[in-house]
Amino acid sequence: MYLMVWLRRLNKEMPNNMKSEMDSLSLLKHLRECGKITPEFEVMLSGLTLEELIALKLETASKLVKGKLYGIPIWKSIDVIIKDAILKFAISVCHSKVDASRFLGISKVDFEKTYKRYNLNSYFNFKNKKEK
């Protein structure tokens, strides 16, 4: 069953009756629509490791405040930051919430709670897309 999810994703062949509301969600598409990234940026980004990307993001954020990130509990916040990123990735690559929960290795109930906690409906503008 789990293998079928990834085979369908790889082959991009999915019957219409199996499509869900999450099929249209893509982090890349969302960031492009917001004007935050370009295809050229994606190429440059793919050359960086995850560690380099995080360090670069922190360095650019600290430049804005002249190197004074005091009071921000980065070390304690890293778990939340990483979980948020992985959750957005799972939503982008999976066809449904059930598939995403399987991908993450959590129950459907835990996935739903996490999805609401991170307020991902508003992040992906899900309600606006549904109305169009």
Considering the chain, what is the average pLDDT of its residues?
Answer: 80
**Cα distance between residue 84 and residue 107, in whole Å:** 17
Asked if 126 and 25 touch (Cβ cutoff 8 Å), the reply is yes
Tell me what the mean pLDDT of segment 3-9 comes to.
55
Q: What is the number of alpha carbons within 13 Å of residue 4 lying toward its C-beta?
A: 4
Total-model pTM: 0.67
Could you state, in order of their start, the residue ranges of all structural domains in the chain?
2-9+24-131
pLDDT value, residue 30: 85
Under the banding of pLDDT at 50, 70 and 90, the label for residue 127 is very low
